[in-house]
């Protein structure tokens, strides 16, 4: 147990009791008499803790009436065990590799410095984490979210935004007044779910396609989570829409061992067929993303229905053949 953990435990024991005998403190902390005396002295001299030895009670207690010189007693803001610090260092390392937009790194760096100081082993623990844990983000798109902070601030403050939005599909640039509802991290990108006052409906916007942001001092419209999910969460993928279709997919027995454990959609339905194949049914609004994921499985998947999805998939395959013909 580190000194920081012992100090935290001493504080908890003295705060929760009228007094605590020296022997009990020593047994609980599992330290020598000299070490416990040093800890108590550190708390009094460095942290300004009002610890006194009460001879009548034959134990230590906090003297709440004491007016000690200097700053008021309080423990530093972060107190973690060594195991918790190791876990946080690991999370920071993972985030540093996954946060390609650099959104959270600058804010986490001060925390990392404090954790390293608490651990008391300089940079050795960080380098060990980096050496033992490897993060590969194959295919991840590099992006820069210049307006992420402004969007996040408006979202939490419940204020409206005016945004200049570049829709890549149509190559149109439009100015929208929106009421932010929630931020969604999906497939290596951030999306803003919002009420669009221009279109008078729920829309989702890729944050990296927002080219300008203006924060308004107008209260944001609040849309229920149920309504958001009805429009944006009813179908497969990130594309919105309320007209839901159901796709039935059959996967080969070999591929079934993986697909059976995959979560394509919260409302999906799946079952093993008598011959070992796997049947997956998923709702979708817009077939673009669904087709992209079906194609990843190649000949190990067959679209059973609807016919319109089969036809579109065949058309996509034929187009691919012609491009590489």
Confidence bin at 125 (pLDDT 50/70/90)? low
CATH number for the 3-62 domain, one of 3.40.30.10, 3.20.20.70, 1.10.10.10, 3.40.50.261?
1.10.10.10
CA–CA distance, 237 with 98 (Å, rounded to integer): 21
What share of the chain has pLDDT > 90, as a percent?
46
- Comparing 3-62 with 148-219, is the CATH topology the same? no
16-20, 87-91, 124-128, 200-204, range with greatest mean pLDDT:
200-204
Q: Please check whether residue 202 is in contact with residue 196, taking contact to mean a CB–CB distance below 8 angstroms.
A: yes
In angstroms, the CA 317 to CA 309 distance is: 12
Average pLDDT of span 121-129: 59
| 151 touches 207 (CB < 8 A) | yes
Q: What angle do CA 266, 312, 257 make, to 5 degrees?
A: 45
Is-cis flag, bond preceding 3, omega within 30?
no
- According to the model, what pLDDT value does residue 217 have? 92
Q: What is the CA radius of gyration of the chain?
A: 29
Q: Which residue has the tokens 């194609």?
A: 295
Which among 310, 289, 174, 281 is positioned nearest to 241, based on CA atoms? 289
CATH topology of domain 245-324: Alpha-Beta Plaits (3.30.70)
The answer to whether 106 touches 69, Cβ cutoff 8 Å, is: no
Which of the pair, 147 or 20, is modelled with greater confidence?
A: 20
Using an 8 Å Cβ cutoff, are 279 and 271 in contact?
yes
Report, as an integer, the average pLDDT of 297-307. Answer: 95
Q: How confident is the model at residue 122 (pLDDT cuts 50, 70, 90)?
A: very low
Residue for token digits 């697909």? Answer: 259
The per-residue pLDDT for range 74-83, each reduced to its tens digit, is 665 555 666 6
**pLDDT of amino acid 181:** 96
Mean pLDDT score of the chain: 83
* Mean pLDDT value of segment 20-41: 92
> Which helix (H) or strand (E) is 269 found in, with range?
strand 269-272
pLDDT tens-place string over residues 202-244: 999 999 899 999 999 999 999 999 999 888 877 777 766 678 8
| DSSP secondary structure of 43-64 | HHHTS---EEEETTTTEEEE-T
Q: Binning pLDDT at 50, 70 and 90, where does residue 193 land?
A: very high
| Of 130 and 248, more confident | 248
Q: Spell 129-164 as b/e; 16+ CB within 10 A means b.
A: bbeeeeeeeeeeeebebebbebbbebbeeebbbebe
Euclidean distance between CA atoms 290 and 247, whole angstroms: 9
Long-range contacts of 260-266 (CB under 8 A, 24+ apart): 264/236, 264/293, 265/235, 265/236, 266/233
Least confident residue range of 53-57, 235-239, 279-283: 235-239
Specify the pLDDT at position 190: 85
Q: What is the pLDDT of residue 119?
A: 54
Please state which architecture CATH assigns to domain 148-219.
Answer: Roll (2.30)
Domain ranges of the chain: 3-62, 82-132, 148-219, 245-324
pLDDT one-digit tens code per residue, 131-168: 776 666 666 666 666 788 889 889 999 999 999 999 88
**How many degrees, rounded to 5, is the angle at CA 39 between CA 37 and CA 45?**
100
Cβ atoms of residues 51 and 62 within 8 Å: yes
């Amino acid at each position: 147990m580190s000194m920081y953990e012992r100090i935290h435990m001493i504080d908890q024991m003295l705060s929760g009791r009228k007094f605590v005998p020296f022997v009990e403190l020593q047994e609980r902390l599992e330290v020598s008499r000299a070490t416990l005396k040093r800890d108590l002295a550190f708390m009094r001299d460095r942290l300004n803790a009002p610890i006194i030895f009460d001879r009548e009670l034959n134990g230590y207690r906090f003297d709440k009436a004491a007016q000690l010189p200097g700053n008021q007693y309080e423990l530093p803001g972060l107190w973690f065990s060594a195991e918790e610090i190791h876990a946080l260092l690991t999370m920071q390392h993972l985030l540093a590799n996954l946060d390609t937009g650099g959104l959270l790194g600058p804010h986490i760096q001060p925390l990392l410095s404090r954790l390293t100081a608490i651990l008391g082993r300089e940079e050795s623990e960080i380098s060990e984490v980096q050496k033992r844990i490897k993060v590969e983000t194959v295919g991840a798109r590099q992006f820069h979210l210049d307006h992420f902070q402004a969007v996040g601030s408006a979202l939490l403050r419940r204020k409206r935004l005016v945004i200049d939005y570049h829709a890549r599909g149509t190559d149109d640039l439009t100015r929208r007044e929106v009421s932010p509802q929630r931020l969604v991290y999906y497939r290596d990108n951030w999306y803003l779910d919002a009420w669009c006052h221009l279109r008078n409906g729920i829309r989702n916007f890729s944050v990296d396609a927002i080219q300008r942001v203006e924060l308004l001092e107008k209260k944001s419209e609040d849309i229920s989570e149920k309504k958001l999910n009805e429009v944006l969460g009813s179908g497969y993928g990130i594309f919105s829409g309320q007209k839901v279709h159901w796709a039935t997919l059959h996967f080969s027995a070999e591929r079934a061992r993986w697909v059976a454990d995959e979560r394509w959609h919260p409302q999906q339905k799946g079952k093993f067929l008598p011959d070992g194949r796997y049947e997956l049914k998923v709702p979708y609004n817009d077939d673009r993303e669904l087709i992209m994921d079906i194609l990843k499985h190649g000949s190990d998947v067959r679209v059973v229905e609807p016919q319109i999805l089969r036809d579109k998939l065949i058309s996509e395959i034929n187009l691919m053949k012609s491009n590489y013909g």
